[in-house]
Structure 1
């Protein structure tokens, strides 16, 4: 039996770890750290620094190369194939390092429940016959760090918020009946596809990290600056993680 614990680690700042997360890391027999290629070496370095800071026991650390997602279309088919490949990697590491079973920990950016597929990948292994119990230790999400960094509420009074992706925002436009939209996993400034009038944006990259960058203001005046800053940061670091909140005034929403 494998006891898999998926541990939310927030945006990479060790101070954002919960006590439960730290305890779960130290209780694990094995902790797997995925490498995502040279362009994202900072990410594995952050995981390493978290482990160095909080591990006090005999937890073994094993690094492995994460498969790259293919460029085939449609998008969902590419993601499904990618998840199959990741599940195969997990299985290989488990069979090699925990052949008699044990407690396995994986560190998940943000929280395992929000735009992360670790739970779906674990379910693949269970469907394929692996005896596995899954536990989740929740983490601070980038959305929480974004609103805290800008000192703003996520929602307007008694109103809903839609959490979506850049891909969906670009293809579907502004959603009906919603005045606040949080956008994650945006590969390239999907807000540029919107009519910017009446929209305010709060944007952040590398949230909670030393390289954190924040910009906010009316979208009509700041969209170009965000796009330019984002491109410069990506060039400097070789990768970027960013997120933003868009809010449309009620009068503009009713006329959309």
Structure 2
């Protein structure tokens, strides 16, 4: 039986890894670190940096593996992502089997940005692997980008007695402002989905690399700061080769 730990590691700062997360990393026989292409080399580097800061067990092996890319020829988004997850699960399975064939122990860990429960597909991929290998699954919660954004701007997530809608840039572009929402949090935006909104009476709090040394923050009335956010985002992406950003918008 293989014990698989999915460990939430926050937004890239080693200080965000909990003591529970550190214990799980050091209990692992193998930590798998995905490589997502040259433009995401820094992301693998961050995971390896976190391993160097947190792993003290000399018996824990740390190995990288190449992730497949989505097939752009598949027109349907859900089908394209499901096919991609199938391919990732196959890579996980191959890496775990190779480890076991070399006599490695049964405890395997993967490090997950933020928390495995929030707009992350690691749990769905683990379910696919569990159909092929005998798994017990452990989830270690982590600090989310939403928490870090609110902390960085020193704002509450919700307005008084009001709900919060968490959505994606793709959904915002397709459907516009969610019905009945007063506060929305937008994740996984390729850039500028807020352009579809009427900016009147909307305030935005935006952050990139939140919680990291490279953190960038912008806030203000959407009509006044949206151009600055887009320009800042483009500059940061060009400088680092990748960007992780998130924003909260509230009706005021």
Q: For this structure pair, what is the TM-score category when the shorter chain's length is used for normalisation?
A: over 0.9
Query: 1:30 Cα deviation (Å)?
Result: 0.5
Query: 1:127 Cα deviation (Å)?
Result: 2.5
Query: 1:237 Cα deviation (Å)?
Result: 1.1
Separation of aligned partners in 2, 1:169 and 1:248: 15
Query: 1:98 Cα deviation (Å)?
Result: 2.1
Show the counterpart of 1:222: 225
- Show CA shifts across 1:23-53 (max 9, x none): 0000001000001111111111111111111
Query: 1:188 Cα deviation (Å)?
Result: 1.8
In the alignment of these two chains, the number of paired residues is 248
Query: 1:77 Cα deviation (Å)?
Result: 0.9
Query: 1:208 Cα deviation (Å)?
Result: 1.4
Give the TM-score of the pair, scaled to structure 2.
0.96
Separation of aligned partners in 1, 2:157 and 2:222: 17
Query: 1:134 Cα deviation (Å)?
Result: 0.5
Separation of aligned partners in 2, 1:49 and 1:234: 21
Give the TM-score of the pair, scaled to structure 1.
0.95
Separation of aligned partners in 1, 2:2 and 2:244: 31
Establish whether residue 22 from structure 1 lines up as the match of residue 27 from structure 2: no
Show the counterpart of 2:50: 50
Gaps of 5+ in 1: 250-256
Separation of aligned partners in 2, 1:96 and 1:177: 51
Separation of aligned partners in 2, 1:116 and 1:84: 15
Query: 1:158 Cα deviation (Å)?
Result: 1.1
Query: 1:211 Cα deviation (Å)?
Result: 1.1
Show the counterpart of 1:252: none
Judge which range, 64-73 or 89-98, deviates more: 64-73
Show the counterpart of 2:106: 102
Query: RMSD of the TM alignment (CA)?
Result: 1.0
Show the counterpart of 1:188: 191
Show the counterpart of 1:35: 35
Show the counterpart of 1:79: 81
Query: 1:117 Cα deviation (Å)?
Result: 0.6
Show the counterpart of 2:242: 239
Show the counterpart of 2:10: 10
Establish whether residue 143 from structure 1 lines up as the match of residue 119 from structure 2: no
Show the counterpart of 1:179: 182
3-state SS of 1:112 partner:
coil
Establish whether residue 204 from structure 1 lines up as the match of residue 207 from structure 2: yes
Gaps of 5+ in 2: none
Separation of aligned partners in 1, 2:241 and 2:127: 32
Show the counterpart of 1:64: 65
Judge which range, 5-14 or 97-106, deviates more: 97-106
Separation of aligned partners in 2, 1:69 and 1:59: 31
Separation of aligned partners in 2, 1:85 and 1:169: 28
